[in-house]
Chains A and B, each alone.
Chain A
Amino acid sequence: MKWEKEGRIITLEDLSSLKWGDKTHTQLPVPFILDDGNIRIYFSAREKGKSLPTFIDLEKDTYKILEINQKPLLQLGKRGTFDEFGIMPSDIIRMGDEVWMYYVGWQLGISFTYTLAIGLAISRDNGKTFKRAYEGPIFDRSRDEPYMTMAPFIVKTDKGWNMFYASGKGFIEEKSQYEPQYSIMSAESSDGISWKRNSQLLILGKTEDESNTRPTIVKIDNKYLMWFCYRGAHDFRNGKNSYQIGFAESEDLKSWSRKDENAGIYKVDGEWDGKMITYPYVKEICGKYYMFYNGDGFGRTGIGYAVLNTWGGV
């Protein structure tokens, strides 16, 4: 399996016409197909250092920019609430006439760098504007997962809803800060709002201090294929243990075999994604599979995409 890199579709320069924000990040891309076939890319921009969701619309086939959304899609949460210090869309799905945004909310403590939890916002105008569904998170830490939840990705089957996400494993001291560690888990639901946890690690780390997150899943030939990103605990901000793409497959969404050698996408020295490839989102568009992702600097270098070469089977 191999991904053909097609380069960047959104760069920081594309944010220059924005009337708000720092114009420093285009983090965590989430593609969404509009009724006319054009592609909306939701992502997190920043304002005063805090993430806020927005989107850019691209013309189908040409990927030419059609529209740059001019207002954050949500405002930060109230004082003390889970999304007071940042909001990042992580999955966006159609739900009847509505569009649901599963997002990650940021909260800051005093002893650690941050904690995250998953919230829900709902759009009734086809994904153009959103309203927070609840002030609190729909999927938070728990008695058995005591730290944080992040990076939800929804897979619906005829048996119900599945959420793949990363759960905090603890904190490791790095340069006198406590940096979170996390790993991918799953939960099940019948309504997309209340979830039953499995609290099981799905992707075992290659090293003890590996963190893996941002699962993205498609079903091809009766097999579920998952890409995700993983990093080390130290020197991971563009350093030697920065994010790269991992891969796993499953027949039942429950047991996964990790096969990073089949990830099919790698860093290329000197390119915009030479130090880091991260936050993948794989989507089928008109029979082809696309991966949207960030490169160096956690989204400081724009959003690129790649096309899956399925020649010879996957």
Chain B
Amino acid sequence: MKWIKKGLIYSSHNEYGWIKSHAQCPTVLVKDEVLRVYFSPRPKPGTSCIAMMDVDIDNPKKIIKIYDKPVLECGNEGEFDEHGVMPQSIIEQDGYIYMIYAGWSRRASIPYSNWTGLAVSSNGGITFKKCYKGPILDRTKDETISGTELICIKKDSIYYGFYAKGMKWSCDIQGKYNSSYEIVRAATYDFTKWETRESIPIFSVQDKEAVTCPAILEIDNLYHMWFCYRGVEDYRDGTNAYRIGYAWSKDLDTWYREDAKAGIDISESGWDSLMMAYPYTVKVRDKYYMFYNGNGFGQAGFGYAELDLD
């Protein structure tokens, strides 16, 4: 597998006064005429909302329109998404567009607690309403830290969910707490319910490694997963910053990690030279695209790459 980088699509420049910084976690809905890209800007430091733009389906570098209002905003005090929301993935079903999103709540002893919520659109992804005030993927007796970046693959009326499960908080030399995660798999008939999930790590991560944001494409009867991974120290554009990893599976059950086959890596210079993070893969007509963030967790914006099918 090899990806051909097509370059930066967008970085935020204080559009409308609230897209102040960052354009994190690009998440793509394929429409007939356009690609609708949801992403997460920060209206002010420490909070995020979800914004939206349409780009040309034949040339995703051409931005058609950036919408002037947030698509989704923070919850109320004490709710799981009180300090931020970020898009994670899209499910289209029965004429509705569902957006799976991450909710952030800052805590007294840890930087944040983040879990997964669900919103729905009945007008083709223009406006969304939260389905519930609470999260659909939340803390359980066995998962205590976080659960985010959920994507679902539907097969034989079962939804197979892949998401990042928080493993632990560790303290770095500056006294900052950083979390690590691994990608786990769960299954449900109803994607609004994940309470009784049996989360199974799809591969074991190394000590002091965080692996998140799975993105899956099914090509020629094989499931290809890209994800991003980082260390737990010096990962803010440093030596252990996010890179794109890769794994494959024949059955969604057994996965083989082979990062060397990811087919994409940081550039020598420019917006994605220090970090590549939050891949989102999507089939557009006969092509496969990967949208992703570059340096600074989305501060340098997002771009895309096209899978080389030759």
Residues of chain A touching chain B, judged by Cβ–Cβ distance below 8 Å, are 78-82, 84-85, 107-112, 115, 117, 119-120, 133-138, 140-147, 168, 170-171, 178, 180, 193-194
Given contacts A79-B110, A80-B109, A136-B139, contact A109 B134 (CB under 8 A): no
Give Cα distance in the complex from A180 to B141, angstroms: 23
Instruction: Determine if A109 and B142 form an interchain contact, defined as CB atoms under 8 angstroms apart.
Output: no
Q: Is B195 an interface residue (CB 8 A)?
A: yes
Q: Is B211 an interface residue (CB 8 A)?
A: no
Residues of A within 8 A of B132 (CB): 143-144, 146
Contacts beyond the supplied A79-B177, A111-B82: 5 A-B pairs with Cβ under 8 Å:
A80-B109, A80-B179, A135-B141, A136-B142, A194-B196
Give Cα distance in the complex from A94 to B192, angstroms: 35
Residues of B within 8 A of A108 (CB): 107-109
Instruction: Determine if A178 and B78 form an interchain contact, defined as CB atoms under 8 angstroms apart.
Output: yes
| CB proximity of B235 to chain A, nearest CB, Å | 19
Q: Is B80 an interface residue (CB 8 A)?
A: yes
Q: Count of A-B contacts with CB under 8 A?
A: 105
Q: Is B140 an interface residue (CB 8 A)?
A: yes
Give Cα distance in the complex from A141 to B141, angstroms: 12
Residues 94-150 (chain B) with a chain A CB within 8 angstroms:
105-110, 113, 117-118, 131-136, 138-145
Residues of A within 8 A of B142 (CB): 134-136
Q: Is B77 an interface residue (CB 8 A)?
A: yes
**Which residue of chain B lies nearest to A147 when distances are taken between CB atoms in the complex?**
B78
Residues of A within 8 A of B117 (CB): 143
Residues of A within 8 A of B108 (CB): 85, 108-110
Q: Is B3 an interface residue (CB 8 A)?
A: no
Give Cα distance in the complex from A193 to B141, angstroms: 9
| CB proximity of B259 to chain A, nearest CB, Å | 29
| CB proximity of B282 to chain A, nearest CB, Å | 27
Interface residues on B, range: 35 or more
Residues of chain B touching chain A, judged by Cβ–Cβ distance below 8 Å, are 75-80, 82-83, 105-110, 113, 117-118, 131-136, 138-145, 169, 177, 179, 192, 195-196
Given contacts A79-B169, A145-B134, contact A109 B107 (CB under 8 A): yes
Residues of A within 8 A of B113 (CB): 80
Instruction: Determine if A111 and B144 form an interchain contact, defined as CB atoms under 8 angstroms apart.
Output: no
Residues of B within 8 A of A120 (CB): 141
Residues of B within 8 A of A168 (CB): 78
**Which residue of chain B lies nearest to A81 when distances are taken between CB atoms in the complex?**
B144
Instruction: Determine if A135 and B78 form an interchain contact, defined as CB atoms under 8 angstroms apart.
Output: no
The DSSP consensus for interface residues of chain B is loop
The DSSP consensus for interface residues of chain A is loop
Residues of A within 8 A of B133 (CB): 143-144, 146
Given contacts A80-B145, A110-B107, A111-B78, contact A140 B140 (CB under 8 A): yes
Instruction: Determine if A136 and B141 form an interchain contact, defined as CB atoms under 8 angstroms apart.
Output: yes
22 A-B contacts (beta carbon < 8 Å): A80-B109, A80-B145, A80-B169, A80-B179, A108-B107, A109-B105, A110-B108, A111-B82, A111-B83, A112-B77, A135-B144, A136-B139, A136-B140, A137-B139, A140-B140, A143-B138, A146-B135, A147-B134, A168-B78, A171-B76, A171-B78, A194-B196
Instruction: Determine if A170 and B76 form an interchain contact, defined as CB atoms under 8 angstroms apart.
Output: yes
Instruction: Determine if A140 and B139 form an interchain contact, defined as CB atoms under 8 angstroms apart.
Output: yes
**Which residue of chain A lies nearest to B80 when distances are taken between CB atoms in the complex?**
A146
Give Cα distance in the complex from A79 to B195, angstroms: 23
Residues of B within 8 A of A78 (CB): 144
Residues of A within 8 A of B136 (CB): 143
Residues of B within 8 A of A119 (CB): 141
Instruction: Determine if A82 and B144 form an interchain contact, defined as CB atoms under 8 angstroms apart.
Output: yes
Give Cα distance in the complex from A193 to B196, angstroms: 11
Residues of B within 8 A of A107 (CB): 107
Residues of A within 8 A of B77 (CB): 111-112, 171, 178
Give Cα distance in the complex from A9 to B175, angstroms: 46
Residue in B141, B192, B195 whose CB lies within 8 Å of A134: B141
Give Cα distance in the complex from A158 to B64, angstroms: 64
Give Cα distance in the complex from A170 to B75, angstroms: 12
| CB proximity of A196 to chain B, nearest CB, Å | 10
Give Cα distance in the complex from A85 to B108, angstroms: 10
Instruction: Determine if B109 and A142 form an interchain contact, defined as CB atoms under 8 angstroms apart.
Output: no
| CB proximity of B195 to chain A, nearest CB, Å | 7
| CB proximity of A198 to chain B, nearest CB, Å | 15
| CB proximity of B239 to chain A, nearest CB, Å | 26
| CB proximity of A273 to chain B, nearest CB, Å | 30
Instruction: Determine if B78 and A109 form an interchain contact, defined as CB atoms under 8 angstroms apart.
Output: yes
Give Cα distance in the complex from A229 to B229, angstroms: 50
Given contacts A115-B78, A136-B139, A180-B78, contact A84 B134 (CB under 8 A): no
Instruction: Determine if B134 and A146 form an interchain contact, defined as CB atoms under 8 angstroms apart.
Output: yes
| CB proximity of A182 to chain B, nearest CB, Å | 12
**Which residue of chain B lies nearest to A77 when distances are taken between CB atoms in the complex?**
B144
Give Cα distance in the complex from A80 to B179, angstroms: 10
Query: By CB atoms of chain A within 10 A, which of B110, B139, B196 has the most?
Result: B139
Residues of A within 8 A of B106 (CB): 109-111
Give Cα distance in the complex from A86 to B138, angstroms: 21
| CB proximity of A265 to chain B, nearest CB, Å | 32
| CB proximity of A199 to chain B, nearest CB, Å | 10
**Which residue of chain A lies nearest to B132 when distances are taken between CB atoms in the complex?**
A143
